[in-house]
């Protein structure tokens, strides 16, 4: 079995450079990826990204090269690049570390993307609470402009491209790419019905690449070292490294970078230092609030897109939230569902009403209503939300609910029979 150590590719500069000095980035080979890209045709750059098999790190794992190719091949003259830096997923703090610690890497990745797809303008839509990220990005953009790395005729070529930072207003749904585009256009952040997808109808109706921060941060490295090198990292289906935000009941909660496919067990016990006080692991929520609950028997799962899909879960943002034997699963699910109920934008009924019904059903479980049909009703509601909700926010609520019920059924049943357990306190407080 392959042994995994931490592997710093995307984080190689974080903590090692002063993120406010472009000189530090340049000294470590910064903007060499852009120089390499400008020596090749846009189609060749897209070809390299396709060959690298880079998958988007925003959650869905969509092939990045394919997305870029669709925009490159569009007939529209005006095209855009948008970076999704909304990072609202609970337990997720990876994009923040990249933006605060190495902002030029993102700017370089976006500029290469702009060149590859024929865009002249790009936007970075940053979560409003990330004040330091915003400040550092703005500073880095102005430094790049002064050095001819952004703006007109970049590095003496015929390619012109510029970037703007826009702050979001704190709605989780604005991380969904079409809601983000609406918000970027100055409108209410409501998801659009897809199709059409942003590659056809994006910002102001023009073809637009929307990529996550971490996705774009991979691009300079691929341009410098080549797709073949990139594919030596990770798995065949999901090459490269991944940033894994570790949180919850761990001795060392933090952000780690490792090759795709690292077992969940290694993340928890080696990189996260195991559970405090020798406590037993009860379960893990993988991929953020819209992720899946995994049981201790599943710890050997490789943390890459395909392996997690194969067990009915998803990599999502890569977030790993660990909870120990003292946690109540009903309590954890309560927090997840309250989050969804709060963040549902209200545009469609299945999600707006479904999330509230789920909370009321969970309350019946916790209070020991004694009616086992409640659990089947919860599954019915999530199924309805999956098929009838307008956007992936409502559609994905089924994953935490179904996996919690599947993996921890006995805990649900004992609450139904006996009412709140001693660990239910937090939930009761939320009710009050």
Residues that bind ligand FMN in the complex, under the rule CB under 6 A: 56-60, 62, 84, 86-89, 172-173, 175-177, 210-212, 215, 391-393
- The residue (of 181 and 393) whose beta carbon lies closer to ligand SF4 is 393
DSSP lists the bridge partners of residue 320 as 246, 286
Segment near ligand SF4 (CB under 6 A); pick from 67-75, 267-275, 383-391, 423-431: 383-391
Q: Cβ of residue 342: shortest distance to ligand SF4, in angstroms?
A: 11
Q: Does 321 help bind ligand SF4 (rule: CB under 6 A)?
A: no
Part in contact with ligand SF4 (CB under 6 A); list of ranges 24-32, 202-210, 290-298, 341-349: 341-349
Q: What is the CA angle 308-98-216, rounded to 5?
A: 65
Nearer to ligand SF4, 97 or 391 (CB): 391
Part of the chain binding ligand SF4 (CB under 6 A), chosen from 26-34, 236-244, 279-287, 384-392: 384-392
Q: Which is nearer to ligand FMN, 101 or 288 (CB)?
A: 288
Query: Please, which of residues 164-183 interact with ligand SF4 by CB under 6 A?
Result: 173
| Alpha helix (H) residue ranges in 53-130 | 64-72, 94-101, 103-117
Complex with ligand SF4: residue 117 or 344, whichever CB lies closer? 344
For position 348 contacting ligand SF4 by CB under 6 A, the verdict is yes
Task: List the one residue from 191, 261, 272, 318 that touches ligand SF4 (CB under 6 A).
Answer: 191
Strands (DSSP E) contained in 332-394 are none
Greatest distance between any 2 Cα atoms in the chain: 73
Residue with tokens 């935000």: 245
Between CA 105 and CA 158 the distance in angstroms is 22
| CB 412 within 8 Å of CB 334 | no
State the nearest-atom distance from the C-beta of 290 to ligand FMN, in Å: 7
Residue from the set 58, 239, 288, 394 that interacts with ligand SF4 by CB under 6 A: 394
**DSSP conformational letter for 303:** -
* Residues of this chain, 351-370, that bind ligand SF4 according to CB under 6 A: 351-352
Q: Residue holding tokens 């510029």?
A: 162
Q: Map residue 275 onto helix, strand or coil.
A: coil
Partner from ligand FMN, ligand SF4, none binding residue 88, C-beta < 5-8 Å depending on class: ligand FMN
φ, ψ dihedrals at 409, nearest 5°: -55, -40
Rounded Cα–Cα distance for residues 96 and 78 (Å) = 30
Is there a contact between 191 and 176 (Cβ–Cβ < 8 Å)?
yes
- 287 contacts 59 by C-beta, under 8 angstroms: yes
Name the residues that contact ligand SF4, by CB under 6 A: 173, 191, 344-348, 351-352, 389-391, 393-394
């Amino acid at each position: 079995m392959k042994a995994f150590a931490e592997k710093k590719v995307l984080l190689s500069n974080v903590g090692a450079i002063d993120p406010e000095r472009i000189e530090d980035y340049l000294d470590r080979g910064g903007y060499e990826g852009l120089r390499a890209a400008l020596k090749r045709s846009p189609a060749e750059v897209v070809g390299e990204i396709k060959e690298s098999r880079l998958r988007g790190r925003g959650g869905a794992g969509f092939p990045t090269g394919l997305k870029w190719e669709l925009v490159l091949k569009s007939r529209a003259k005006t095209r855009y690049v948008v970076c999704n830096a909304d990072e609202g997923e609970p337990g997720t703090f990876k994009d923040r570390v990249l933006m605060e610690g190495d902002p030029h890497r993102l700017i370089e990745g976006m500029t290469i993307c702009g060149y590859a797809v024929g865009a002249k303008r790009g936007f970075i839509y940053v979560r409003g609470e990330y004040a330091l990220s915003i400040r550092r990005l703005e500073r880095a953009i102005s430094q790049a402009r002064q050095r001819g790395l952004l703006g007109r005729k970049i590095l003496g070529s015929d390619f012109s491209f510029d970037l703007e930072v826009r702050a979001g207003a704190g709605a989780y749904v604005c991380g969904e790419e079409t809601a983000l585009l609406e918000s970027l256009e100055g409108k209410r952040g409501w998801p659009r019905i897809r199709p059409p997808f942003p590659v056809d109808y994006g910002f102001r109706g023009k073809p637009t690449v929307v990529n996550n921060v971490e996705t774009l941060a991979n691009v300079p490295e691929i341009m410098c070292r080549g797709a073949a090198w990139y594919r030596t990292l990770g798995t065949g289906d999901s090459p490269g490294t991944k940033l894994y935000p570790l949180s919850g009941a761990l001795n060392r909660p933090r952000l780690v970078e490792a090759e795709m496919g690292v077992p969940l067990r290694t993340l928890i016990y080696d990189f996260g230092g195991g559970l405090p006080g020798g406590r037993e692991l009860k379960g893990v929520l993988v991929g953020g609030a819209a992720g899946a609950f995994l049981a201790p028997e599943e710890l050997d799962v490789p943390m890459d897109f395909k392996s997690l899909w194969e067990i009915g879960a998803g990599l999502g943002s890569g977030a790993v939230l660990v909870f120990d034997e003292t946690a109540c699963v009903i309590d954890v699910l309560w927090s997840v569902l309250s989050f969804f109920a709060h963040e549902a934008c209200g545009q469609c009924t299945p999600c707006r009403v479904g999330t509230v019904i789920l909370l009321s059903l969970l309350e019946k479980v916790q209070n020991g209503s004694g009616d086992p049909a409640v659990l089947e009703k919860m599954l019915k509601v999530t199924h309805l939300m999956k098929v009838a909700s307008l956007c992936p926010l409502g559609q994905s609520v089924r994953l935490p609910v179904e996996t919690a019920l599947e993996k921890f059924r006995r805990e649900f049943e004992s609450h139904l029979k006996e009412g709140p357990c001693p660990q239910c306190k937090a939930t009761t407080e939320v009710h009050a």
